[in-house]
Structure 1
Amino acid sequence: MRLRIFTEPQQGASHETLLAVAKATEDLGFDAFFRSDHFLKMGDVPGDPGPSDAWITLAALARETSRIRLGTLMTAATFRLPGPLAIAVAQVDRMSGGRVDFGVGTGWFEQEHTAYGIPFPSLNERFERLEEQLDVITGLWRTPEGKTFSYDGSYYTLADSPALPKPERPEGPPVLIGGTGAKRTPRLAARYADEYNVPFNGVDDTGAAFERVRAACREAGRTRPMVYSAAQVVCCGRDEAEIARRAEAIGRDVTELRGNGLAGTPAELLDKIGKFGEQGAECLYLQVLDLHDLDHLELLASEVLGKL
């Protein structure tokens, strides 16, 4: 089981804060540093100093780290045209020496689109656009050097693109697709994804979502392996007082977190991580909401990661 640190900087984080968390993630032995791709805070938090661009952030972190993987859960297909997005991700991948994982989804938070003038079409159209973006982005990355790439879709048209720059690997960075949709999500994951992620669901529901994707892979005749992962908000403490203090700092209830997240003592976390592993999860994304509490990361590293 690999553990990755997952941050939500739209809730309030400077680049200096994110850099400190990324460096701690690397120094403490975690597998990766991920961030959300959002332009508006959620809930009653200050949100200062305001939103930051996910791929600009990861480009900077690519030059400040050397081992950990870097990625998004998830870049919204509504935010960027697929051609420029393929360029940005490939460039960050080269800057990091091939350490990028590309998480992409439909986009869901209507208010952030309204706040920054981003069109927000229907769910059906967002799925259709996501599929075309996956066609375009992976097509650009995988076009052999010296060849051109063209595409004629319902939403995106490319003509004789030089398909540059290239990512570090010929097949491009690993693609992550997530969500719990019953039909379209499993089909897209089976066709395009290297990793399928279930965010913020219980153990049994996560296992059921994994099985839907396994069935879609069988139906599609897929032979290459799929990585199965889950994301959970994390709140760990050595005793009840420490757990309660950390829950209060992120505005959550301890009982609720124990039921709906990865919360409690290190022993409790290890037990629940084991249950996700029994469902087939190979990787867990620990959503760390208090980015100033680096002691939390140290505890997770020594008493959870160190004992897996």
Structure 2
Amino acid sequence: MELRIFTEPQQGASYDDLLAVARAAEAAGYDAFFRSDHYLKMGGVDGLPGPTDAWITLAGLARDTSTIRLGTLMTAATFRHPGPLAISVAQVDQMSGGRVEFGFGAGWFEAEHTAYGLPFPSTVERFERYEEQLEIITGLWNTPAGQTYDFSGKHYTLADSPALPKPAAKIPVLVGGTGRKRTPALAARFADEFNLPFQPVDNAVEVLARVDAACAEIGRDPAEITRSAALVVCVGRDDAEVARRAAVIGREVDELRQNGLAGTPAEVVDKLGSWRGKTGISRAYLQVLDLADLDHVELIAAEVAPQLRG
């Protein structure tokens, strides 16, 4: 199983904070560094120094790292128009030498839209726009060089687009969520990876079954879609260290053990093994909430990751 680091910088992080975590993750051998795409803090934190833009951050990391893959869980379709977004992501991929992955969602956090003057349509319209954006962005990237791209939809129209720039490599598209109909259908059509965000394992099994069924409806082999899960992580060498790390992020150890990955390295290996056995996931995004604790990142790489390989 691959382990990836996932950060929530809207809770309070500068670019330099994120760079330190990304470099630590790269040095420790993690497969990828991902970040959220949010413009407003959540919960009882001050969020200082304020939000950072996901794709500006990843552009910087593309030049300030060298091997680790980079991506978002999830870029919000409500934040950007699809044409300029396709250009931005392709450019960051070029800047990184082909290391970008594109997690993309419909957008859900209404308060951040209000705070920064972004329209927040109804759920129905958000998913209409999301579907059109998925088709446009992948269509622009996949248009052969020298040809043009056209699209006419309910919300977006493109005519005679040169469909440039091209990514340095094929950019994997991640779709995720727990929607019962539209999300599985969009995953079946567009996703290279399906991500389960912070779900109990039994619920995850049900969600993945819906994705498999959606694939069957369009004749796609569900094995073509990588399965992954995002889970908050809190690992310690002993119970005291686990409790200390939980306290820093304002969580209870028992709750983290139930809803995330908490405990000693052996406990976390067992939990991930159970996840893999029940759901078939091959990749875990470890939500690291204390970005100053680089020892945490290194501990997991040293004592958890080796037991999950193979």
- Matched residue, 1:262: 261
**Deviation at residue 292 of structure 1 after TM alignment:** 0.1
Distance 2:209 2:150 in 1: 35
Distance 1:99 1:297 in 2: 21
- Matched residue, 2:201: 203
For the aligned residues, what is the CA RMSD?
A: 0.8
Distance 1:272 1:219 in 2: 32
CA displacement, residues 12-56 of structure 1 (integer Å, 9 cap, x when unaligned): 001111000000010001100000000000011110110110000
CA contact (8 A) 1:207 1:280 kept: no
CA displacement, residues 85-134 of structure 1 (integer Å, 9 cap, x when unaligned): 00000000111111110000010000000000000001111111000000
1:145 has 2:145 as partner:
yes
CA displacement, residues 149-189 of structure 1 (integer Å, 9 cap, x when unaligned): 111110011111111000113xx300000001111110000
1:191 has 2:189 as partner:
yes
CA contact (8 A) 1:86 1:141 kept: yes
- Matched residue, 2:276: 277
1:176 has 2:178 as partner:
no
Range with bigger deviation, 117-126 or 224-233: 224-233
CA contact (8 A) 2:77 2:130 kept: yes
Distance 1:292 1:102 in 2: 26
- Matched residue, 1:107: 107
**Deviation at residue 142 of structure 1 after TM alignment:** 0.7
Identity level (%):
69
1:228 has 2:227 as partner:
yes
Q: Which amino acid aligns with 1:146?
A: G
Distance 1:149 1:239 in 2: 57
Distance 1:297 1:207 in 2: 28
Distance 2:180 2:143 in 1: 32
Q: Which amino acid aligns with 1:70?
A: L
Distance 1:298 1:33 in 2: 14
CA contact (8 A) 1:93 1:100 kept: yes
CA contact (8 A) 2:25 2:298 kept: no
| Residue correspondence of structure 1 range 1-308 to structure 2 within 5 A | 1-169=1-169, 172-223=170-221, 225-278=224-277, 279-308=279-308
Runs of 4+ with >4 A deviation: none
Distance 1:212 1:4 in 2: 25
TM-score, normalisation: structure 2: 0.97
- Where structure 2 has 5 or more consecutive residues not aligned to the other structure, the ranges are none
Q: Which amino acid aligns with 1:277?
A: R
- Where structure 1 has 5 or more consecutive residues not aligned to the other structure, the ranges are none
Distance 2:180 2:11 in 1: 30
Distance 1:3 1:207 in 2: 20
Distance 1:253 1:97 in 2: 41
CA contact (8 A) 1:234 1:286 kept: yes
**Deviation at residue 276 of structure 1 after TM alignment:** 1.2
Distance 1:211 1:282 in 2: 16
Distance 1:276 1:62 in 2: 31
SS at match of 1:233: strand
**Deviation at residue 306 of structure 1 after TM alignment:** 2.0
Distance 2:210 2:281 in 1: 14
Q: Which amino acid aligns with 1:108?
A: W
CA displacement, residues 39-74 of structure 1 (integer Å, 9 cap, x when unaligned): 000011110110110000001101111111100000
Task: State the number of aligned residues.
Answer: 306
SS at match of 2:224: coil
